Structure 1
Amino acid sequence: MKGWLARHGPALLSAVLLGAAFPPFNVFLLVFVGVAPLLARLRDLTGRQALASGFWFGLAYYLIQMYWVFGFVTDWIHKPVVALIPYIITALLGGLLVMPVGWLVNRCYAIGRPWLVPLVWAAGEGFRAYVPVLAFPWGLMATPLARQPWLVQHAAFGGVFLVSAWVVIVNLAVVHALFPDKNGQKAMSARQASSLALVFVAALLAGMLRLTNMPETKKLVVTLGQPGVDMAFTKGVERWQKLGTAARTTMATAQANGSQLVVFPEGFGEETSGDTPVSGVGARPPVPTILGSHRRAGDKIFQTAWLYDQTWKQADKTRLVVFGEYVPFRDSPLLANFNLPTADISPGEKIVTSEVAGTKVGTLVCFEGVFPDLSEAHARNGAQALVQISIDDWYIRTPAWEQLWMSSVWRSIENGLPLLRVGGEGMTMATDCRGRVLAWAKPYEPTALRVEVGVPAKSDAIPYKSVFLYICAAACLWVAGEGLVVGRKKSKDS
């Protein structure tokens, strides 16, 4: 046990430190030192030990990150023991997905290229974000810095993953300064350390320069309609009565305050098979409107954002929640105890960016807000603003609720676009085109939040920020290839 702790204790410590940077603790500065113990220990391990240490870090980290799953599933199925199953499985998957990062970091040291560690780390986050079926960009290193948009404007050059790599530079500097290896050697050469320091400072200054160079904008007056209804667990007649009341009150307020656009949350309308949503705002709202509902087309069901401005337009959700909106292995006996949806939602075929209230808008339906590539695609399509409609009520009073709005702020920073976000009971807010929060709606209460946002002619961010992840992937291939060669050479020499 003592030997195991010596090898993998630093991984567990890093999981705790990094976890404390996130909700509900929110000690955001810990992101700059949280993984330093792990990075330092990985240097002195064998390749196999580094794999194991990566697993233990991922397992512990996701036990911290995902404990809200237990409460969420318990509320859903009312079986606490059964609710432990998805929580534990999620943490185990986290461990397995992080495991290769441990080995790759170890190889960075072995080949004398520790300066590649930030790229390897970002690649690991990108892999977790987009791996088929399990794609889930959660607990990203940079996420807590959403509260400090002035610090991370360089996300416009490479997205949240670039900022994660930037944060790892500081962790690596801590290792270099405080954790010599077992032979007393520093983690990097003086040249490598100074080069990384220059990269860190250059990114910070470039971001700050961006913050001082705001684009010209036009004013858009919006009312964000938070119904104050638990849209996850309020069902039937009660649900539609409350939403109808919220619709009438919000629309009247919007007309009175001169709003050009009204936004309601996902699921605000009833399921429909027609070309017009069924909701409390009626078939022809007096103010241009965005809302969400299920849409049936033949034998398929879509989660749809509806946009009204003289006529109704549709933008179907393209990125779905596994086990929430579609269920792989639906007939498995293991899933029999879960209150799963009776039918699968189908993903939309393409990302649709539409014009409403004289503004080109990219809609993000709930879960889509955590994926950087979707908002990036909207920006390339010419979006002038991002609108996220959500039902976050599943996660009320859990850290997930807070981390979801942080993801929304990142989408604004990355693309240089204002973002309007509406939830059923909270996390309703608006940002400017640099991710700074302009207004918040008080949670749990029906609110018609009027906000004036500056809308630019187009995004001023780099259009293909996701290229950074391909650079990170190439770095991983380099490290893996050279690392295997070096490892075999050492084996032959010994």
Structure 2
Amino acid sequence: MIWASGNKSTLSSLLKLANRIASEKIRSPNITAFNSNQIIVRILGAIASGILLILIHPTPDQGWLAWVCLVPILLACHRSSIGFSSLLGLITGLIYAYGVFFWFFHLPKAGAVQSIPLAIIIALYVAVFAAFASRINNNFLRLLVLPCIWITVEWLRAHAGFLSLPWATLAHSQHQNIGLLQYGAFTGTYGISFIIVAGNVLLANMIIMRKVSIEQWLGISTILLLHLYGHSLIGEPELTKTQKIMLVQPHISVHEVRGEQTNQLRWQKLDRLTRKAIETGIDLVVWPETVLRGLKSNPLLMRNIQTLCNDYQISLLSGVTEFEKFTTDGGSKGEGEVKTRSFNSIVFVVPDKPSPVFYNKLILVPFGEYTPLSDYLSWPQWLAPVASELTRGDAYVHFAMPEGTIIGPLICWENLFPDFVRQSVMDGAQVLVQVVNNNWFGQSAQPFQHNIASVMRAVENRRSVVVASNSGPSQVVDPWGRVTAVTPEYFSKATLISEVQINDIPSFYSRHGDLFLWFVMGFSALALLLSLLSRQTSHTQKNGRN
């Protein structure tokens, strides 16, 4: 009852603010005519959207607010100048960045100064969207083009080189909206974001027009029908098999990460947890990211792991930090220096076969696992403290279970990138296994936000995704984005055993990628071009009559 009362209060406040912005807009169609009160109202609209963009993600994970989160900023930008609208977008983006990414401050050496570039970069994307929103005043064109602009901006966030961060997108807010999620199998997450933005534009247009037209009713009905039809897409394909997988969540603290003694203690903890919880019929045991170190140079530990696999006839997949010595080029002197490369890796061990297979992480975390552009720039320490200089792997590797199931391994934030995961599936992965260690971020919203990306990858590719986390939550996601099993406790030791569905039928998105995105990007560009030509023709005809 208290929460329901809070929801009514929130909606009432948003409606009052929307009406205030709309009324100010009607009286003052040009930003140059705004007085201080009208400017403040529009700034409040930008602040409201920033707050709503925080609320739709964990925590508090109120995804239903995504359907109104952009309405205040859309109203505030309507018929405003492009400069003022960009400023409003920056305000919204900064609030969103600091609210959603507040876990950033849990990192060692991460403070207010280091957070500023991250917040500004994220805010700039929202500012670009706001700038376009201010220049498109035709309601029908807004409905067609603004969703395209938003998902184009989301695509840029995922393809910005070392600045890429496709985290906490609009689509992620709908991870519990199972019906809507199903469109990800055809359009990727961009299609889901497109529908959400279209819903927001419809509501904003209604407030601007102060009436509901037949076209707007049709738009709302279409979104409702999409939800209903999405539920009909949830089914049971002709799955070839299931596998029983056990996830071990050891909760190894950040202080237990180095040294041979702690390496042995961690092995003992993992071995004890595994042997205590294991049961008949388990096919695969998964240990999380970087829980062990230097297996290639530790034959005794490698034999212990092989013995565990042989004893229970299980395959084992574990995160490990690996090392490799190499000799530098000595130049004219001919005397090279011996150095060591470090890798964030996964080791895969099968019973009765002492030939472990390793996968070295391909997408490293900038400023965390490597320093970008280090050959060309010397980053100031106050901005970018020294990172762990890991080496990127050479190639992607699949793991084959004894009975033939193909595993696509993912390490940490590799699950954020749709193109990367899609390629793994197209190369044969029947199930995706992600190992992660998020306890660097403390008991924050970060692990929950991170796990949502795995839900999206499951739906997009119609593949089960298994997430083994050091401190939780560890979980299993089925091919329709439903979390079928999750560890009951967070930041504690736990094990999780679940039957996992294995699928070898690729989805439309797996086969064709971002076809929807390219189509709508081309369509929006054409619509904008035709609109500009129409304005130019109208302006020329008007001058001719004069």
On whether the aligned pair clears a TM of 0.5, the verdict is yes
Change (3 A) 1:124 1:491: farther
Indicate yes or no: 2:497 matched with 1:470: no
Offset at residue 376 of structure 1 (A): 1.3
SS in 2 for 1:211: coil
Q: Which residue of 2 aligns with 1:67?
A: 102
Change (3 A) 1:218 1:407: same
Q: Which residue of 1 aligns with 2:198?
A: 169
Offset at residue 483 of structure 1 (A): 6.2
SS in 2 for 1:265: strand
Change (3 A) 1:126 1:144: same
Indicate if the aligned counterparts of 1:383 and 1:459 stay in contact, CA closer than 8 A: no
Indicate yes or no: 2:149 matched with 1:117: no
Question: Which of 289, 292, 295 is the equivalent residue of 1:266?
Answer: 289
Change (3 A) 1:490 1:69: farther
Indicate yes or no: 2:252 matched with 1:229: yes
Q: Which residue of 2 aligns with 1:318?
A: 362
Indicate if the aligned counterparts of 2:477 and 2:484 stay in contact, CA closer than 8 A: yes
Offset at residue 312 of structure 1 (A): 1.9
Q: Which residue of 1 aligns with 2:447?
A: 401
SS in 2 for 1:228: coil
SS in 1 for 2:479: coil
Higher relative contact order by CA 8 Å / sep ≥ 6: 1 or 2? 1
SS in 2 for 1:267: strand
Indicate yes or no: 2:222 matched with 1:178: no
Indicate if the aligned counterparts of 1:270 and 1:279 stay in contact, CA closer than 8 A: no
Change (3 A) 1:316 1:160: same
Question: Which of 454, 458, 462 is the equivalent residue of 1:412?
Answer: 458
Offset at residue 213 of structure 1 (A): 4.4
Change (3 A) 1:204 1:66: same
Q: In structure 2, what is the Cα distance between the partners aligned to 1:221 and 1:10?
A: 50
Change (3 A) 1:212 1:458: closer
Q: Which moved more, 1:304-313 or 1:407-416?
A: 304-313
Q: Which residue of 2 aligns with 1:40?
A: 75
Q: In structure 1, what is the Cα distance between the partners aligned to 2:149 and 2:302?
A: 48
Q: Which residue of 1 aligns with 2:416?
A: 370
Offset at residue 481 of structure 1 (A): 4.4
SS in 2 for 1:389: strand
Offset at residue 302 of structure 1 (A): 2.7
For 2:156, give the aligned amino acid: F
For 1:373, give the aligned amino acid: D
Unmatched segments (≥5 aa) in structure 1 = none
SS in 2 for 1:368: helix
Question: Which of 102, 108, 132 is the equivalent residue of 2:130?
Answer: 102
Structure 1 length-normalised TM? 0.87
Unmatched segments (≥5 aa) in structure 2 = 1-35, 327-339
Offset at residue 84 of structure 1 (A): 0.7
SS in 1 for 2:409: strand
Q: Which residue of 1 aligns with 2:50?
A: 15
Change (3 A) 1:333 1:165: closer
Offset at residue 371 of structure 1 (A): 1.6
Structure 2 length-normalised TM? 0.79
SS in 1 for 2:233: helix
Question: Which of 345, 350, 356 is the equivalent residue of 1:304?
Answer: 345
Change (3 A) 1:110 1:11: same
SS in 2 for 1:462: helix
SS in 2 for 1:450: strand
Query: What is the 5 A alignment of 1:213-292?
Result: 213-231=236-254, 234-236=257-259, 239-253=262-276, 256-271=279-294, 282-283=305-306, 285-286=309-310, 287-292=314-319
Q: In structure 2, what is the Cα distance between the partners aligned to 1:49 and 1:482?
A: 26
- Name the count of aligned residue pairs: 480
SS in 2 for 1:296: strand
Q: In structure 2, what is the Cα distance between the partners aligned to 1:477 and 1:277?
A: 61
Change (3 A) 1:465 1:195: farther
Alignment deviations for residues 180-214 of structure 1 (CA, whole Å, 9 cap, x no partner):
3xxx687xx744x3664465345434422220344
Offset at residue 68 of structure 1 (A): 1.6
SS in 2 for 1:303: strand
Indicate if the aligned counterparts of 2:407 and 2:430 stay in contact, CA closer than 8 A: yes
Question: Which of 305, 320, 328 is the equivalent residue of 1:293?
Answer: 320
Q: In structure 2, what is the Cα distance between the partners aligned to 1:136 and 1:221?
A: 33
Q: Which moved more, 1:122-131 or 1:248-257?
A: 248-257
Q: Which moved more, 1:281-290 or 1:112-121?
A: 281-290
Q: Which residue of 2 aligns with 1:444?
A: 491
Q: In structure 2, what is the Cα distance between the partners aligned to 1:57 and 1:274?
A: 51
Q: In structure 1, what is the Cα distance between the partners aligned to 2:255 and 2:532?
A: 50
Question: Which of 418, 421, 433 is the equivalent residue of 1:387?
Answer: 433
Indicate if the aligned counterparts of 2:103 and 2:445 stay in contact, CA closer than 8 A: yes
Larger Cα-atom Rg: 2
Q: In structure 2, what is the Cα distance between the partners aligned to 1:96 and 1:232?
A: 37
SS in 2 for 1:256: coil
Q: Which residue of 2 aligns with 1:348?
A: 393
For 1:374, give the aligned amino acid: F
Q: In structure 1, what is the Cα distance between the partners aligned to 2:72 and 2:248?
A: 46
Q: Which moved more, 1:196-205 or 1:141-150?
A: 196-205
Question: Which of 69, 88, 91 is the equivalent residue of 1:56?
Answer: 91
Alignment deviations for residues 426-468 of structure 1 (CA, whole Å, 9 cap, x no partner):
1111122212112212223322321111212333443223223
Q: Which residue of 1 aligns with 2:165?
A: 136
